[in-house]
Structure 1
C-alpha cells in the first residue's frame, strides 16, 4: 500500500468479502466499502472538490463519516470533522476558519452544502486518485481558552501515529474495535478506525454512548477492544450491581484524553475483568505519545512509557531535562507532531519550538521511565506563595470510597491570592458530607493543600470530548 488513502483498495484486493466497518444501520464488507468510497469521491468531485481543498463534515458517528474521510483523501483533499452538538454560530466559525469548500451533513444544519444522503445513494465512479502529501485532517481543539484552533495533521503524521498504535497495542487482522468516542476527535479516528483497519481488523461504530446499553452491545458485536475517556469508565462503574456481563471478547480497554484516577482503574478492572491501558497524548501530537504496555508492567496512576518513534522529555523553563521524580513541562518530538495551527503562525511557533511540541502539561518520569502527569501548567493554583496541583488533591479525594468523581479548581482569594475548591460527585448509593470529605483531606494532604470548600454536585460539566470543563467549574465556584 503506497499511501493511507489506498486502504480501501488494498483491503478489497486482500479480502474482498471480509468485514470492514459497520454501524447501527449498515455493515460493509471491504468491497462494498471501497465502492462507497469511490461513489462518494465522484460526488465530491462533482461538487468542485479538488486537491488541496477542505471538506467539512457535520455528522454524528456513522459509517458515512468514514466513507467521506477516504473519499476526500482520494481527491487529495483534507477533512475537518465538526461536532454536530455545537451551536450554529460555532459550526459556522469552524467552516469559515477551515475554508471548507463543501460541507456534508443533514440539510437543516448550519452551513451544510451537501446532503449526507447524497453519499449514501451515490453510484458513480471515482476520478483518478490523487496521492496527496498535504493536510489530511484539521482537528479543532475544544476551545476552553478562546476560539478553537485547527490542528493541521498531514498523511505522514497519520501514517506514523497509526504504525505506533498498531505496534503498541499489538493489533492484527483478528482485532475488532468498538468506537464509542466521537469521530470529530482524533482519538476516535486514529485509535478506533484507522489503526484497526490498517492492521487488517475491523470497526463497529456505536452511535451516541449509552452506559446502560454498552455491555449489551459488547456481548452482541464481540469487539476485542475499545477506547474511552475517564467519564465513560466512571459511568460504567456507576451502573447498578447485577450479573457480570460477558466481556470475554475484550482483551483490553484504552483510556485517554484525561488522566484516570488509579482507584477508578482498579475498581473497573475488578468489577468487569477487562484490563485498562492508560495513555497520554494531544491532538497536536496526532493522538498518543505514551502508553502503558499491553504486555508487561502496567502502572495505574501513570500514563505509561513513551511510544517507540517518539522522544518524550520533561524539562524546566530553560529546556533542560529533569531527573527522575523532578516535575517539569512535558515536551514531545517525533513524526507525529502537527504541522501547526491553521492560519496561526505565531501560536504555532510558540507551541512547536525547533520541532518539539510544548504540551503545557506538568509531569515527571518515575524511576522506571513511566510518565506521571501532575497537571496543566495553567491549572496550577498559587495559594499564599505555595504551588498546588489540582490533580494531587483530586487523587486524595478519590481515596475516599464515597467519591465517584472529583475536580478541583482555583478561585481568587483577597488574602491568599488563590484557594482550591473541590467539586465532588458522590458514588451511587452513598451519603457523604463536605465536612467528612474535608476531614478526609486533612488526613492525607498537607494543610495548605486542603480545599477551602467542597461542593457536592450530581454531575460534572463537560466539554464536547468528555473532559470535565474546569472553566465552567471556576465560574460556578466564583458565583457561589
Structure 2
C-alpha cells in the first residue's frame, strides 16, 4: 500500500493515501446526501482530485459524470440537468453548477472523520455517465456500469502485458473514457503508477517523459503531429517508453512511421467508441502491427461488418462496423429509442464503415455519420448548426469538416440568410463564441445565397466537403 500510485503537479500519493482520500471524500459526499443510484458531476481539469472524486462516488454506489471544464454555462447546464446530478465537484465559484450544491476542489475532505464504511461495489451498478452527441447533435449520456469498466481495464491490461512495474503518463482529458480506462483504471488494476498532466504542450510533455520515466501513454493523432513537428535538434530521452497508443481519429502511416523513427518506441493504433467503453480493436504491442489498420478485435470482443440490411458480411467485404462484448454499454440514459437503434440483436452499431482482412485486422474506410474529429475531439455539426440557426436572420446552416494538417479536421460553416436579413460573419462567430466551447468554433463562416441540395431536397454535405478538399 506504500507503492506510488497517483501524482500530478500538486500531489504525489501512494495507494494507501489514495484509499484514505477516497474514503474521506466519500464520507463528505454521504453527509451531503449522495448515495446509491445518485450521480456526482465532476467538472475539473486533469488533476488527481478528479480521480479521487470518481473513486469516492463508486464507494457509495453512486455514478459519476465527468464534464469538460471548458464548457459554457449552457453546455455544462445541459449535462448537469440531463444526468440528474445531485452535486457538483468543481474548481471554484465561477464554474457552472446549474444551481446544484457544489464542493470546490480545494475544500475536499482529505482525512476521514470516522471509521470508513466498507461497501462492495456491484458489477451491475452504474459507474459512469459519459456524454457523447448523436446525429441529432443532442448530447446523450452513455451508461457504463462497473462490469463494463472491469471488462475494458482487464482487456487493456492483458493486451498491453501491463504489470505493477508499468507507469502511465496521462495526457488525454479525463472527461473522456479513454483516459479513465486506458490510463487510470488499467494502472490501478495492475498496481502500477499514473502521472497526470493537466494539459499537453510538446516540449513540457517530453520534459515530463524524461522526468517521470513512464512506460506508456495514450494519445490522439494531433498530439503525435505536434511532437513530430518539433525541431530536429530538440532531443529527449524516451527510452523508458515501451509503447504508445494512438486512437480517437484516423492517423496516417507516415505520421506513425515518423514518430516511431524519431522517438524510438512503437505506436499501436486502436479503435473504439464511448458506447464500447473506449476500445474494441488494437494492434498488438508484441506481434504483427499492420499500419493503416486499427488491429484485430480485443480479447473478449467480436467485430464484424454488416450490410445495409443488417446481414453479416464475409471477410474482406466493406460494411458498417458492429461490435459485441462485455464492454458494450447498457444504453443511453433515458433514450430508449436511441438505445434500440444502436444496440441491435446484441450488436453495437458504430456508424463507421470498414472491412476486416483474413487475419482479423480492421481497416476503417469512412464514417457513416457527419461527425467531425478535430484533434481527437468528436464534434457534431448539428450542435454548431443549432447555434447558428439561433440567429434570427439565418435561414439555413450546414457545418462540415475541412482537412487540417495538425488537427485532422476543423469545422467550416455555410450559412444562407433570410432575404434582406442583416447577417454578418462577425455576428455569427460572436454567437458561437458565447454558446460553444472554443474547440467547436467554426474556423470559417461563409455566407451563401443557397446551399447545394440532393435530389430529395436535403443539404448535400458531400459536395461541400469535396469543395473543401479541392481547395
- Asked if 2 retains the 8 angstrom alpha-carbon contact of 1:64 and 1:120, the reply is no
Instruction: Give the TM-score taking structure 2 as reference length.
Output: 0.78
Give the SS at the match of 2:285.
Answer: coil
1:193–1:424 Cα change, 3 Å: closer
How far is 1:66 from its partner?
0.9
Give the distance between the partners of 1:238 and 1:144, measured in 2 at CA. Answer: 34
Alignment of 1:234-313 (within 5 A): 234-313=225-304
Q: 1:354 to 1:223 in 2, by over 3 A?
A: same
Show the counterpart of 1:11. Answer: none
| Contact 2:72–2:437, Cα closer than 8 Å, also in 1 | no
Q: CA deviation at 1:322?
A: 2.1
CA distance in 2, matches of 1:423, 1:189: 29
Residue 366 (str. 1) matches residue 357 (str. 2): yes
Taking structure 1 as the reference length, the TM-score comes to 0.77
What is the distance in 2 between the residues matched to 1:308 and 1:127? 35
Q: Is 2:8 the counterpart of 1:28?
A: no
Quick one: which of 209, 220, 228 aligns to 1:229? 220
Q: Secondary structure at the match of 1:157?
A: helix
Distance in 2 of aligned mates of 1:206 and 1:369: 35
Q: 1:233 to 1:127 in 2, by over 3 A?
A: same
1:127 maps to what in 2? 117
Instruction: Answer yes or no: is 1:110 the counterpart of 2:96.
Output: yes
Distance 1:475 1:122, change over 3 A: farther
Give secondary structure in 1 for the equivalent of 2:338. Answer: helix
- Between the aligned partners of 1:245 and 1:142, the Cα distance in structure 2 is 38
Gaps of 5+ in 2: 374-380, 382-397, 408-435, 447-463
SS in 2 for 1:304: coil
Aligned match for 1:210, one of 168, 181, 201: 201
Which of 27, 39, 48 is the matching residue for 1:63?
48
Change (3 A) 1:159 1:426: closer
Indicate how the Cα distance of structure 1 residues 355 and 70 shifts in structure 2: closer, same or farther if over 3 A, else same. Answer: same
With over 3 angstroms needed to count, the CA separation of the structure-2 counterparts of 1:348 and 1:190, relative to structure 1, is same
Of residues 321, 333, 337, the one that matches 1:342 is 333
Q: How does 1:375-394 map to 2 (within 5 A)?
A: 375-379=366-370
- Unmatched 5+ stretches in structure 1: 1-15, 381-389, 392-408, 410-417, 428-463
Deviations 1:299-333 (A, max 9, x none): 11100000110111011112222233221000001
Following superposition, the deviation at residue 200 of structure 1 comes to 1.5
In 1, Cα distance between equivalents of 2:369 and 2:25: 43
2: CA distance, partners of 1:141 / 1:472: 19
Partner residue of 2:32 out of 27, 44, 47: 47
Cα RMSD after superposing both structures: 2.8
Q: Distance in 2 between matches of 1:326 and 1:347?
A: 27
Supply the distance in 1 between the matched residues of 2:401 and 2:331 (Cα, whole angstroms).
Answer: 35
1:148 and 2:139 are equivalent in the alignment: yes
Q: Structure 1 221/173 Cα, relative in aligned 2: closer, same or farther at 3 Å?
A: same
1:37 aligned residue = 22
Residue 270 of structure 1 and its aligned partner are, at CA, apart by 1.0
**Conserved 8 A contact 1:55-1:100:** yes
Q: How many corresponding residue pairs?
A: 393
Specify the alignment match of 1:139 in structure 2.
130
Question: For the residues of structure 1 that align with 2:134 and 2:90, how far apart are their CA atoms?
Answer: 22
Q: Could you tell me how far apart the structure 2 residues matched to 1:263 and 1:68 are? A: 40
Relative distance call for 1:237 and 1:260 in structure 2 (3 A) is same
How big is the shift at 1:202? 1.1
Asked if 1:79 corresponds to 2:59, the answer is no
Q: Is the 8 A contact 2:222 2:406 kept in 1?
A: no
**Deviation (angstroms), 1:426:** 8.3
Indicate the larger mover: 117-126 or 53-62.
117-126
CA contact (8 A) 1:41 1:127 kept: no
Q: Is the 8 A contact 2:134 2:140 kept in 1?
A: yes
Q: 1:435 — aligned with what?
A: none
Check the 8 A contact 1:259/1:303 in 2, yes or no.
Answer: no
Partner residue, 2:177: 186
CA contact (8 A) 1:38 1:124 kept: no
Question: How far off its partner does 1:147 sit?
Answer: 1.9
Q: Distance in 1 between matches of 2:316 and 2:281?
A: 17
The equivalent residue for 1:394 is none
Aligned to 1:100, what secondary structure does the other structure show?
Answer: coil
* Segments of 4+ moved more than 6 angstroms: 477-480
Cα offset for 1:107?
Answer: 2.7
Could you tell me which residue of structure 1 aligns to residue 405 of structure 2? 425
Q: What is aligned with 2:414?
A: none
